[in-house]
Amino acid sequence: MARLFPRALPVFLYVLLTAVSAHARAAQGGGALPGYRFESGGWTYVHLEGTPEEIGFQHGALLATEIADMVNVMKLELAHDTRREWGFYREAARKQLWPHIDAEYQQELTGIAKGVQSRGVKLGLWDIVALNGSIELSEYYVPWLNKRAGAERARLAPHITPAGRCSAFVATGSYTRGGTIVIAHNNWSTYAEGARWTIVFDIQPAHGHRILMDGEPGVITSEDDFGENDAGLMITETTIIGFEGWDPAGKPEFVRSRKAMQYGGTIDEYVSILKEGNNGGYANDWLIGDSRTGEIAYLELGLKSTPLWRTKDGYFVSSNFARDGDVLKYDTPTFRYDDLEKSPNARRVTWEKKMAANRGQIDVALAEKLEADHDDSYAGREEANQRSLCGHVDLSKDGMEDEGGWGPYYPAGAVTGKVADSEMASRLSFAAHAGHPCGEDFLAGPFLKAHPEYSYLKPILKDMKSGPWTTFAAGEKQ
């Protein structure tokens, strides 16, 4: 009997070394990955699981082509809009962001870079970090940096203001059919970004909650922030227009928002994580629902003021406006809440009317219709433009210069829609619509012919076709 163990030992070592070798091959892209992807309804569904580095590597390997394409979009847009080349953003990512990123997410970002490189794409870690921080660096850090450069330099610098991204609501209690929470969001961005902002991520991390969210290739958080976790939380947000401020010692927003989704089990936990180390970057109005309790909340995450409202019977609407007195005074000093011609305020008025008119009837089907709405409350007519909930800046002669730097007829507006209710959230499921929620297609060729002033976008502008509403769920396979 004493001789059995030595004989068994080589077998044991062989099995162990084989397992380790297989894991190493997977980590280098040479073996089977637990992650996978498939296409549905105009979206790319991506499942990721494991440790932070494993999740990152799968992300980078599965979406290497799309990540390289997205970086090219950001290079062109940022160079034109901010007059700063991609090398500036790589360096800002290294110096401004990286020292304040949790180790877990440093590992995931490093994994993405390795995954991309395993597919022959020549991008480095700082490209990936810059991509993740592109909004907060370009629209918050750069204006702060320009201002610090002195009055004359600031005068000569391009005018940069946070873009008016998104229309959203969350409702519960007597406002919804059956009293369940209903949450809805349409993402506003440039069409160059929006045509690519069509990833559904199913993330099963080794630690924390499982997440289902929409997002961009190469980015570890949703970024337009629509998602759910297996603790029953439902979240979304819209950008706060006219925001000023940046804390160079703070934690990047893309890290805080991802961490809140992964580790927030209650509304209070979610809010606490978002506020911890707030750097002021990508300042948003956050809409949060707890499908287990029926409670909803609204966090106005300024830098100097961070008020929170919550209810179990009511609604919160959001369309890029600040509402709290201190946020208006200290964080958004140039925003005018009473200027109803401006897109954020016009959409706020429309939302309020829609909520009142549909009290007790709001459900997923109605939410999809509201996300597609073309009412212009200021003009008093139905018209697809910069003031409709389903935004079409490309159809507006006025554009949205003060609400994001989008000039007349700029190719931007609502690029996706997402909706869910408590029952769907309990199953980690939501419905998503690629392209304009109203169903209209954007065609790059005819647009560029009609608007040659935007010919510089030709290398990155492509058709954005409107897909069907499609339901996704965690663990789904084609």
What digits encode the pLDDT tens for the residues 229-271?
Answer: 999 999 999 999 999 999 999 999 999 999 999 999 999 999 9
Instruction: Calculate mean pLDDT across residues 83-90.
Output: 97
Q: If you average pLDDT over every residue of the chain, what do you get?
A: 92
Residues of the chain above pLDDT 70, percent? 92
pLDDT at 423 (0 to 100)? 98
pLDDT-derived band at 161, boundaries 50, 70, 90: confident
pLDDT-derived band at 405, boundaries 50, 70, 90: confident
pLDDT at 33 (0 to 100)? 82
The phi, psi pair for 335, rounded to 5°, reads -80, 135
Instruction: Calculate mean pLDDT across residues 168-182.
Output: 98
Which CATH number among 3.20.20, 1.10.1740, 1.10.439, 2.60.120 corresponds to the domain 36-156?
1.10.439
Q: How many residues does the chain have?
A: 478
pLDDT at 159 (0 to 100)? 79
pLDDT at 462 (0 to 100)? 97
First to last CA, the chain: 51
More reliable by pLDDT, 71 or 149? 71
pLDDT at 4 (0 to 100)? 36
Instruction: Calculate mean pLDDT across residues 59-81.
Output: 98
The CATH topology of domain 167-243+253-472 is Penicillin V Acylase; Chain A (3.60.60)
Residue 164 has pLDDT above 90, yes or no: no
- Could you tell me the CA-to-CA distances from 353 to 296, 359, 375 in Å, in that order? 20, 10, 11
Residues of the chain above pLDDT 90, percent? 88
Q: Kind of pairing, strands 167-172 and 314-318?
A: antiparallel
What are the extents of the domains in the chain?
Answer: 36-156, 167-243+253-472
List b or e across 234-264, with b for residues whose CB sees 16 or more CB atoms inside 10 angstroms.
Answer: bbbbbbbbbbbbbeeebbbbbbbbbbbbbbb
pLDDT at 216 (0 to 100)? 98
pLDDT at 8 (0 to 100)? 42
pLDDT-derived band at 151, boundaries 50, 70, 90: low
pLDDT at 72 (0 to 100)? 98
Distance CA 169, CA 368 (A): 12
More reliable by pLDDT, 129 or 7? 129
- In one-letter notation, the amino acid at residue 175 is Y
Among the residue ranges 149-163, 168-182, 326-340, 347-361, the one predicted with the least confidence is 149-163
Residue 32 has pLDDT above 80, yes or no: no
Instruction: Calculate mean pLDDT across residues 105-128.
Output: 98
pLDDT at 3 (0 to 100)? 36
Residue 24 has pLDDT above 80, yes or no: no
Q: What predicted TM-score, i.e. pTM, was given to this entire model?
A: 0.92
pLDDT at 152 (0 to 100)? 61
Residue 19 has pLDDT above 50, yes or no: no
- Could you tell me the CA-to-CA distances from 455 to 146, 183, 215 in Å, in that order? 28, 37, 27
- Beta strand segments in 4-70, E: 36-40, 43-50
pLDDT at 157 (0 to 100)? 76
Residue 363 has pLDDT above 50, yes or no: yes
Instruction: Calculate mean pLDDT across residues 9-26.
Output: 39
pLDDT at 20 (0 to 100)? 36
Residue 30 has pLDDT above 90, yes or no: no
Instruction: Calculate mean pLDDT across residues 311-315.
Output: 98
Q: Count CB neighbours of 349 within 10 A.
A: 17
Distance CA 77, CA 112 (A): 23
Residue 418 has pLDDT above 90, yes or no: yes
Distance CA 365, CA 172 (A): 15
Distance CA 389, CA 377 (A): 10
Instruction: Calculate mean pLDDT across residues 189-201.
Output: 98
Instruction: Calculate mean pLDDT across residues 459-469.
Output: 97
Instruction: Calculate mean pLDDT across residues 464-468.
Output: 96
More reliable by pLDDT, 243 or 15? 243
For residue 300, the number of C-alpha atoms closer than 13 Å in the C-beta half-sphere is 23
